[in-house]
Amino acid sequence: MEATSFPDPKTFFDEHIKGRKPVLFKGILEKGILPAYKLWTDEYLRENFGKDSVMVELGKKENRDEGGDSFTFTQFLDKYRKENIYMVNDISEDMARDVNLPPSMVCGGMQRAIQNVILWFSSGGTKSVLHNDGLDNINCLLDGEKYLVMIDKKHSKLIETEHWKTNGAYHRVDVEKVDMIKYPQFQDIAWYEVKMKKGDCLFIPFKWYHHVDSSAKGRNMALNFWFNHMMIFNDTDCKDVDTEKPLPLAGIRKKTKDVESIRGELMGVFDDENPVGFEQFTTTLEGTEIVDKETVKEFFRYIDMDGDQKVTPEEMQTFDIKKAVDELPALKKALHEYLEAAEEDDEEDDGEDDMNGEDPENQEMEGEEDIDAESSTRDEL
């Protein structure tokens, strides 16, 4: 599906977040909703953020077994056009002054759900692994072109086989050379093709699988907004908001260590709107080897507000987590350690939607659809 404007927050939630339906917003940044789109030339970045420390991947084809390195922004700008490097960095509060949330996110709870705003910056030619994210994602292309292959999460049983890495949420398949003998299930998976151009934004739904290949034609820059997957829309905070205007990011983005951001991790226990019992909830948290079972049991009882031994998405999204930490002191240390562990995993495993693998060689998979920036819209996507 293509669109030329962002829908109002309620429509966006109903049709795309809850409906888990991707949408490509064509040329949307030309409307002036994102100051960085015009401002972030190399010269501007050097002058304003040159001393900032940024994380850089040493290679353009993503390998999640390898880490990155820390550069100053100036060092990166000096090298990126001639070396095989790729910036993957959560933007600073200073950079956030040049960034607005898209109008579709200004209320309904989405403005509080933002977790990371990542800058992906290279000279092109980057390739991501086939992966999914436990967050919803709006990816905006400030410069260059990108090609994506996307697969609906409903195909999880075909993708998450013995070659799927649960820790990191990615597949071992070589996205540049898909071996259809080794991975025969890919012959039976419907996939979608997306071609992004400068000025476009793409919504990638929660846990949809995707691979991103950036054009090797030159400077390539994208911002992606990662936000917690929401199960309910809070329309009460939309009453006094102009939903046609973007919301400045500076000052509203959550700090990584804020206990509220644990809610996004906890929402990952839900694959759909069905409630989860204690055992499934426990398995999710104990995977960190930090939160002991007794602490989890206390926490579960607090979230399970109606006492039915199940936690619903609505309960998870609305319970007062700060109050829970105050009333259950044993949680405080455990939750902060859980966040730190998740952050360390991100540093090891993160990839944009953009670093290791090409499309599945344009192998003819059943149900291929096309969202081409230069051709007709395919509503099936």
At 189 the three-state DSSP class reads coil
Q: Output the six-digit token pair for 13.
A: 């939630």
CA distance 299 to 35: 42
For the cut 60, the answer to whether the pLDDT of residue 364 exceeds it is: no
Q: Output the six-digit token pair for 337.
A: 């350690």
Same domain, 247 and 138: yes
Range of the domain at 287: 259-344
The strand pairing partners of 369, in sequence order, are 192
Total domain count, the chain: 2
Q: Which residue has the higher pLDDT, 272 or 353?
A: 272
CA distance 317 to 315: 6
Report pLDDT for 377. 30
Same domain, 109 and 172: yes
Same domain, 149 and 273: no
Same domain, 165 and 288: no
Whether residue 377 is contained in a domain is answered as no
Q: How confident is the model at residue 361 (pLDDT cuts 50, 70, 90)?
A: very low
Report pLDDT for 127. 82
For the cut 80, the answer to whether the pLDDT of residue 372 exceeds it is: no
CATH number of the structural domain spanning residue 138:
2.60.120.650
At 333 the three-state DSSP class reads helix
Strand positions, DSSP E, the chain? 2-3, 23-25, 53-57, 68-72, 86-90, 100-101, 114-122, 136-143, 145-151, 164-165, 170-171, 192-197, 201-204, 209-214, 220-227, 247-248, 276-277, 310-311, 369-371
Report pLDDT for 214. 87
Same domain, 264 and 170: no
CA distance 17 to 230: 7
Q: What is the mean pLDDT of the chain?
A: 79
Q: Which residue has the higher pLDDT, 88 or 336?
A: 88
Angle at the Cα of 94 from the Cα atoms of 90 and 97, rounded to 5 degrees: 100
Average pLDDT value for residue range 34-56: 97
Q: Using CA atoms of 362, 368, 373, 375 in order, give the dihedral in degrees to the nearest 10.
A: 110
